[in-house]
Amino acid sequence: MQILKAENISKVYGTKKSAKQYMALKSISFEVKEGEFIGVMGASGSGKTTLLNILGSIDKPTTGRFFMGDTDITTFNKKQLAKHRIDNIGFIFQDYNLLETMTLKENIILPLALSGYKPNAMEEKLMEITKNMGITKVLEKYPYEVSGGEQQRAAACRALITNPKIILADEPTGNLDSKSGKDLLELLSYINGEYKATILMVTHDVFAARYCKKIMFIRDGEIYNELYAGNNKKEFFDAIIDVMSILGGE
Amino acid sequence: MKLTTLALSNIKRNFKKYAMYFFSLSFSVFTAYTFFALMQNKYVLMAFTYDDRYKALLKSFGIIIIVFVMFFLISSNNSFIKARKREISTYALFGMTNGRIGRLIFLETIIVGTIALIIGIGVGIFFSKLMAMILLDISLASFTGKIEFTIAPKAAYITTIIFMSIFCVMGLSGLRVINKFELVDLFKAHKVSEGRSKGSVIVLILSLILIGAGYYLASSSNVRIVVNAAIPVLFLVVTGTYLFFWGGLPKVLNLIKSKKSNYYRGVNLISVSAFYHRVKSIAMVMATIAVLSAVATTAIATGYTLYNNIENNTYEQLGYDMYFYGGQEELLGDVEAAFEAHGNEIIEEFTAQRYTCSPSADVLRIKNSSFNISKDDYFRVYSESIYNKLMSITRCDYKTVSIKSGEAIYVYPFMIDNIADAITGQALTFTDEALKVTATIRAGILSFGAIHTIVINDADFDILLNSGDITDTNEGGAPYDKVTVFKYQQPLSSPELNRELTQILSGNTGSFRTAYTLYDESLQTFGLVCFIGFFMGGVFILMTASLLYFKQIMAAEEERHQYRMLRKIGMDDYMEKRVIAKRLIPVFLIPLLVGIVHSIFAMKSADTLVFSNMIADENSYSTVLLCSAVMYGIYAIVYSIFYFITKGQYSRIVK
């Protein structure tokens, strides 16, 4: 079943009349199916973060439409967009983006609190989501009191707690050492497998991309290529490296 | 020099941020200049400085203002520098040394300071005539409003010197703040909490007990307790206030947090946790502001209440527009002629005999001290009809009485409940007769030289007069002077008439007093106190409020990334507005409320010490509170204006 469908999405920066117009996305179309774990790769400035921001409805496309299920998100007003973000999208950011003023627990339930859940229902959801993440013991601690991995897991819990239709991850391993990075990617794989969560991850890290089931390469605001993970991990990895070397990434 | 160019462009670029800073600097300068200019103003000099008391009052007021302005400027400057941490760290990152950054900031301070100095003094000069007029108008009964516009170069000179030194101190203390910055903080993105505090129930309870004890002592109706406890009360309440903000407020927040059903609502979760996160770093500022607010509101409320009651108090003391003893035969004609010459009219005049009597009575025991109403003192005595006649001429609001035979009403200027209770029912024994005191009145406008006064039935009066118990002669047999009381038109706004009456009566009577003279004297003292109260209150309000503004703007800079994240999660604009409101309201509201509650109790003390003697009302405290409420209202309005300015700026920063 298709979760998200993008139709001819373009994004132009700079005003229409100015000479400094810059086209970050050029008429991109694609679909995301339920349960997919998609990686979006490309060199710096290829437009991958712009794409993620548009899918996350933080930014608006200049032209084109995209659908969540059957709903056209591009017609939403600000308030509807905010609600749409709480209900349908889970974010995992590069620098965790936990609020340092709140405990991990408060951070995790924040999306629920914003959409007006009852405290008991929140606790239930919290328990359900954190029990497999290994952070139940540090829930009452503040972000700066726990390790980076624990913070990242808490951020993942926050993204998951509303049962979003899709989880958007923006360079999630960017700030982590290789061990923590690996842990997080395994966590995402686990979420993808266990919770049937659909994940779209932007990365330029070939190692991270290995965990995806499908990779979308972007060059100069256009989809350049797509790769699917077969049964052979090594083959997939080599293929990614090949494409990236052409794209001028790492 | 490059540094100057950079400093200038910084100011231009940060103009919005600088606007408030600039405003408070200019206002401080304006305050100082105005004060010094007033001290130089020849009309003010003429009106006040001939009296050493006024001179001392004005001087100590000036020192308080300058010290406070200095405290305010330095701390707001430090907040301002902290708010620019990101920018300053960037300079450091590009290899600027702390010394150079310090010089840059110092240069900016001096440039902005100089402009503020010029504008502040300019505005001060512009308003100097108005300020002098306000001062003179509220202080002089007969101020005509004719006063020349003057520029006081000496005041401008003193102001410039003082502020240039303050700016230097500010620059140095700014350098200290910069030296404390760690470059690495820039990259750590403010992850470490500096201000969380769990608080403590014990501290919370202790703070409430201390404040409560202070309130209890302050609200005592016993004058001696209030006087002796003044310092302890100050100590209790100030300590309690600081303890409350330091340890109690965090505990209260903790309690709010523990009530999950309320706390876990989105807006509350964000705003309470954000406030809690910062409570330690702002607690001391809030406590200081609460204390200053208490001082300011009390000063303003006292001034306003005093001022509002000067007229009442004049008549409370004097009773009539004018009275004099003796010399009626020669003087009455002159007096009446003077009225005619000034186009004024006597509404009523009445001449009364000053009768006395000396009945014997028991010595009363009131709270371990004896109250002897008969031993050496004689009584002034009036018949019911004379009493009612006098009461109809007075400007005070006393009811007429009717007294049964055999009864007496005891009148005493310093009547308190204890005395009234003790004396009611007492017998006053005369040669052949005894009268029983059945009622008391608190008034000082009938005694005309005596301490105790009784009013009795007309028939009783005649009997006692015949029996010789009541007499109008002294021990030597010479008759007492009669007293003549007057009620006339515009008694408080006829200075020329008053001057002439004074001339006529002076030296020719046993004694005389006019309401105008007393009113004018009171206005000078109270008007000055009131003006100082207003001035100081105004300065305190504006400066404490802008200090809170700076603190919050600094916080906004640090909280900015949180709002960005919250918006990504799905906080909409409406919710953001509510979060910001809930985040900022307590910062302004709590010190304001604490300050006002403190002040309400301080006014109770002021009532016990001053106003209960001034205001004729049975319940003088409610009159005091009514006057104070006006000032509390104004205070609250100014604070809410600052709250809205802060909210606007805060929203802009986190956008």
Q: What are phi and psi of A122, to 5 degrees?
A: -65, -45
Q: Which of B258, B260, B269, B271 best probes binding to A when mutated, by most A CB atoms within 10 angstroms?
A: B269
Q: Does B573 touch chain A (CB under 8 A)?
A: yes
Which contiguous run of DSSP H or E holds residue B306? helix B266-318
Is B562 near chain A, with CB under 8 Å? yes
Full residue range of the structural domain in which residue A152 is found: 2-247
What is the separation of C-alpha B444 from the centre of its chain, rounded to a whole number of angstroms? Answer: 27
Distance CA A42, CA B297 (A): 64
- Is B190 touching A (CB cutoff 8 A)? yes
**In this complex, do B266 and A114 lie within 8 Å of one another by their Cβ atoms?**
yes
> Which amino acid would we find at residue B444?
G
Nearest to A155 by CA among B374, A171, B593, B540: A171
Structure tokens at A28: 């991109």
B358 touches chain A (CB under 8 A): no
Q: Which of B193, B278, B570 sits opposite A86 (nearest CB)?
A: B570
C-alpha B243/C-alpha B203 separation (Å) is: 7
Q: Give B333-387 as a DSSP string.
A: HHHHHHHHHTT--EEEEEEE---EE--B-PPEEETTEEE-SSSS--EEEEEHHHH
> What's the pTM?
0.75
CA distance B575 to B267: 7
Task: Give the pLDDT of residue B189.
Answer: 47
B254–chain A nearest CA distance, Å: 13
- A115 and B266 within 8 Å at the Cβ level: the answer is yes
How high is the pLDDT of residue B467? 86
Contact A82 B575 (CB under 8 A): yes
Of A56, A82, A106, the CB nearest to B572: A82
Which tokens hold the place of B18? 């600088």
For residue B82, give the nearest of B559, B544, B547, B558 by alpha carbon.
Answer: B558
Indicate the SS3 state at residue B490.
Answer: coil
Taking the Cβ of residue A84 and every Cβ of chain B, the question of whether any pair is shorter than 8 Å is answered with yes
Which residue in B has a C-alpha nearest to residue A106's C-alpha? B269
* CA atoms of A117 and B106, how far apart (whole Å): 52
Cβ–Cβ contact A77 with B under 8 A: no
Kindly tell me if the per-residue pLDDT of B590 is higher than 90: yes
Q: Residue A102: its chain B contacts at CB < 8 A? A: 269, 273
Instruction: Show contacts of B160-165: CB within 8 Å, 24+ apart.
Output: B160/B117, B160/B121, B162/B32, B162/B66, B163/B28, B163/B29, B163/B32, B163/B113, B163/B117, B164/B113, B164/B117
Amino acid at B236: L
Tell me how many domains chain A contains.
Answer: 1
HSE-up (13 A, CA, CB side) for residue B107: 17
| DSSP letter string, B411-454 | EETT--HHHHHHHTT-EEE-SS-EEEEEEEEE-SSS-TT-SEEE
Confidence of residue B52 (pLDDT cuts 50, 70, 90): low
- Backbone torsions φ then ψ of B377, nearest 5 degrees: -85, 140
The verdict on a CB contact (< 8 Å) between A83 and B572 is yes
Chain B hits for A106, Cβ within 8 Å: 269, 273
Pairwise CA distance, residues A25 & B90, whole Å? 33
The shortest CB-CB distance from B570 to any of A97, A109, A114 is to: A114
CA dist., res. A150 & res. A133, Å (int):
9
Chain segment B172-213, per-residue pLDDT in tens: 888 887 777 766 665 554 545 556 777 788 999 999 999 999
**Which residue does chain B place closest to A91, by CA atoms?**
B569
Fill in the amino acid letter for B529: V
Contacts of B341 (CB under 8 A, 6+ apart): B500
Tell me phi and psi for residue B239, to 5 degrees: -60, -45
What phi, psi does B543 have (nearest 5°)? Answer: -75, -40
Contacts of B565 in chain A (CB under 8 A): 93, 97, 99
Q: Note whether A109 contacts B574, CB cutoff 8 Å.
A: no
Digitized pLDDT (tens) for each residue of chain A, 250 residues in all: 788 888 888 888 876 666 677 888 888 888 888 888 999 988 877 888 888 888 888 888 888 888 888 888 888 888 888 888 888 888 887 776 788 888 899 899 888 888 888 888 888 888 888 887 778 888 888 888 888 778 888 888 888 888 888 888 888 777 667 777 788 888 888 888 887 889 999 888 888 888 888 888 888 888 888 888 877 778 888 888 888 888 765 4
Q: Is the pLDDT of residue B502 over 60?
A: yes
- pLDDT confidence of residue A250: 44
- B205: Cβ–Cβ under 8 A, 6 or more apart, which residues? none
Determine contact: A142 vs chain B, CB below 8 A: yes
User: Would you call A79 an interface residue with chain B, using a CB distance cutoff of 8 Å?
Assistant: yes
Q: Confidence class of residue B596 from pLDDT cuts 50, 70 and 90?
A: very high
- End-to-end Cα, chain A, rounded Å: 34
pLDDT at B144: 65
Is residue B2 within 8 Å of B91, Cβ to Cβ? Answer: no
Say whether A109 and B260 touch across the interface (CB within 8 A): no
In angstroms, the CA B256 to CA B253 distance is 5
As given in the structure block, the two tokens for residue A244 are 């990236």
Record: contact A85-B570, CB cut-off 8 A: yes
> Least CB-CB distance to A99: which of B264, B562, B575?
B562
Q: Give CA–CA dist A91/A170, Å, rounded.
A: 8
The answer to whether B446 and B383 have CB atoms below 8 angstroms apart is no
By C-alpha distance, the chain B residue nearest A82 is B570
Please report which confidence band the pLDDT of residue B591 belongs to, taking 50, 70 and 90 as the band edges: very high
Q: Give yes or no for B258 touching A (CB within 8 A).
A: no
Contacting B residues, span 278-337, partner chain A, CB-CB under 8 Å:
278
Of the listed ranges B66-75, B178-187, B478-487, B631-640, the one predicted with least confidence = B178-187
Q: Which residue of B has its CA nearest to A94?
A: B565
Number of A/B CB contacts below 8 angstroms equals 89
ipTM confidence: 0.81
Which bin fits B410, alpha (ψ -120 to 50), beta or left (φ > 0)?
A: beta
Contact status of B260 with chain A (Cβ, < 8 Å): yes
DSSP string, B455-482: EE-HHHHHHHHHHTSEESB-TTSPBPPP
> Cα(B650)–Cα(B580) distance, rounded to whole angstroms?
8
- Both tokens of B105, joined, read 């900031």
Mean pLDDT of B163-177: 84
SS3 labels along B181-245: CCHHHHHHCCCCCCCCCCCCHHHHHHHHHHHHHHHHHHCCCCHHHHHHCHHHHHHHHHHHHHHHH
- Nearest-CB residue to A116 (from B261, B266, B566): B266
* pLDDT tens digits for range B273-295: 888 888 887 888 889 888 888 88
Distance (Å, rounded) from C-alpha B29 to C-alpha B46? 25
Interface test with B, best of A79, A93, A99, A106 (most B CBs within 10 A): A99
Taking the CA of residue B266 and the nearest CA in chain A, the distance in Å comes to 4
